[in-house]
Chains A and B, each alone.
Chain A
Amino acid sequence: MTADLSRDDRRSMSVEETRRRSADLFAVLHDEGASAAERDTARDRLVHLHLPLVEHCARRFRNRGEPYEDLVQVGTIGLIKSVDRFDTDRGVEFSTYATPTIIGEIKRYFRDKGWAIRVPRRLQELRMQISASTAELTQTLGRSPTPRELADAIGCSVEEIVEGLESSNAYSTLSLDATDDDSDGGAGQSMLDAMGVDDGALEHVEIRESVKPLLENLPAREKRILLLRFFKNMTQSQIAEEIGVSQMHVSRLLSRTLEQLRHSLEADG
């Protein structure tokens, strides 16, 4: 670990610094004479000081289907355990001692919590054996292996392979936000998108219901002009021809009617 970091000169300086501060803090933590508060503070600061080590360990497990932040969290538990158990008299670096503990904690998390549905340990291990052997046999045979070939390679029965295959479906459940890229209906659409949404026209219901009685009260000619303009999509000139007035008059009538409607709506609202 330390050798790894010291490749970079600047970093090796900060490693030296970290090592020194770490030793000081451990001295306080293990000092029988120090008060409980002092020792607590030292413990806190030790954990904070070594957090980058946890991040480093967690990064090694990225892209395995668990959020990086979750891995940092469980890794931090490993770090806290290490701080509590570390014995300075052993003469080893803290990072040397803490790394296996942190990684162990992360690995245990994958084993126990990574599964969406709890599956017996035996099946979890079987599933790992199956996927490893499948990859290996696919290479040597040049085709996908049969369950019998897998069973022979692993040293179990065909029944157990079938069981293992079933359990592998339990590793991950489908998220509602997961996109289904393999269907033809709109790539990148998530399950959630495919579910019902509020009808876009719903918000207009109120407006439409409020306008309805106002429209009823309009004089017949105005009503007809609105109908021709907005439902038959006629131009003002066409409407003018239709009802036998000038286009200017239609324009005036239209704007006046619309203005009236708007006013009545606002007054009501």
Chain B
Amino acid sequence: MSETSVPAAEHSAPTGEPAEVELRLPADGAYASVLRTLTAGLAARLDFTMDDIEDLRIAVSEAAAIVLDEADPGTVLDCVFRLEPASLGISVSATSSAPSEPDYESFGWQVLATLAAEASIDTTADTYAVRLTVRSSLAS
């Protein structure tokens, strides 16, 4: 496939707005692999190294696991990817009628926070969201 199929940030629109990719999945663990695959695919195009991509796959799995725990059954897992030069911002969120307090001691969160450059849990009255930013190790 040709170079034009690679929407890396340096090829993005001249306005300088980072490209966004959105993925909506049933809030069900069975779809986690789709999320992982898309994440790896996007990171590959942003020139993340193979190690970065592996870390990213783990981080995004943990984020999905944390959100799925809170998601109401039958709702949608909303994943937004923000493609910036050598950096990938990811937000994973779902509808949660009674979101519990963020547990910053949980194993999943610890893994996520270690692998991501930035990570946060945002809850509102009816949503539960995990946001993370992962940078390519080539950027620094």
Min C-beta distance of B37 to chain A, whole Å: 6
Q: Counting CB contacts under 8 A, is A237 at the interface?
A: no
The main secondary structure of chain A at its interface with chain B is helix
Whether A159 pairs with B51 at a CB distance below 8 angstroms is no
Min C-beta distance of A144 to chain B, whole Å: 4
Q: Which residues of B contact A146 (CB under 8 A)?
A: 44, 47-50, 136, 138
Q: Which residues of A contact B64 (CB under 8 A)?
A: none
Known: A158-B6, A162-B40. A143 touches B107 (CB 8 A): no
Min C-beta distance of A137 to chain B, whole Å: 9
Q: Interface residue count for A (Cβ, 8 Å)?
A: 19
Q: Quick one: which of B11-46 are within 8 Å of A by CB? A: 37, 40-41, 44-45
Interface string of B57-99 (1 = CB under 8 A from A): 0000000000000000000000000000000000000000000
The listed residue (B6, B41, B49, B136) touching A145 by CB distance below 8 A is: B49
Min C-beta distance of A269 to chain B, whole Å: 47
Known: A144-B50, A165-B53, A166-B37. A158 touches B107 (CB 8 A): no
Q: Which residues of A contact B50 (CB under 8 A)?
A: 134, 144-147, 150
Q: Which residues of A contact B1 (CB under 8 A)?
A: 157-160
In the bound complex, how far is the Cα of B33 from the Cα of A149, in angstroms? 25
Whether A144 pairs with B45 at a CB distance below 8 angstroms is no
Which residue, A146, A161, A165, has most C-beta atoms of chain B within 10 A? A146
Q: Which residues of A contact B41 (CB under 8 A)?
A: 162
Q: Which residue of chain A is the closest to B54 with respect to CB atoms?
A: A144
Whether A162 pairs with B107 at a CB distance below 8 angstroms is no
Q: Which residue of chain A is the closest to B5 with respect to CB atoms?
A: A159
Q: Counting CB contacts under 8 A, is A96 at the interface?
A: no
Q: Counting CB contacts under 8 A, is B137 at the interface?
A: yes
Q: Quick one: which of A54-97 are within 8 Å of B by CB? A: none
Whether B47 pairs with A148 at a CB distance below 8 angstroms is yes
Q: Which residues of B contact A162 (CB under 8 A)?
A: 40-41, 44
Q: Which residues of B contact A145 (CB under 8 A)?
A: 49-50
In the bound complex, how far is the Cα of B138 from the Cα of A184, in angstroms? 30
Min C-beta distance of B11 to chain A, whole Å: 13
Known: A134-B50, A144-B52. A158 touches B45 (CB 8 A): yes
The listed residue (A143, A158, A184) touching B137 by CB distance below 8 A is: A143
Min C-beta distance of B125 to chain A, whole Å: 32
Q: Which residues of A contact B107 (CB under 8 A)?
A: 183-185
Q: Which residues of A contact B37 (CB under 8 A)?
A: 166
Give residues in A with beta carbon < 8 Å to B.
134, 143-148, 150, 157-162, 165-166, 183-185
- Shortest 5 CB-CB distances between A and B: which pairs? A144-B51, A144-B49, A147-B44, A157-B1, A144-B50
Apart from A146-B136, A165-B44, list 11 A-B contacts with CB within 8 A: A146-B50, A147-B47, A147-B50, A147-B53, A148-B47, A150-B50, A157-B5, A160-B1, A161-B44, A162-B44, A165-B40
Q: List 8 A-B contacts (CB under 8 A).
A: A134-B50, A143-B51, A144-B137, A147-B53, A148-B44, A162-B41, A165-B44, A165-B53
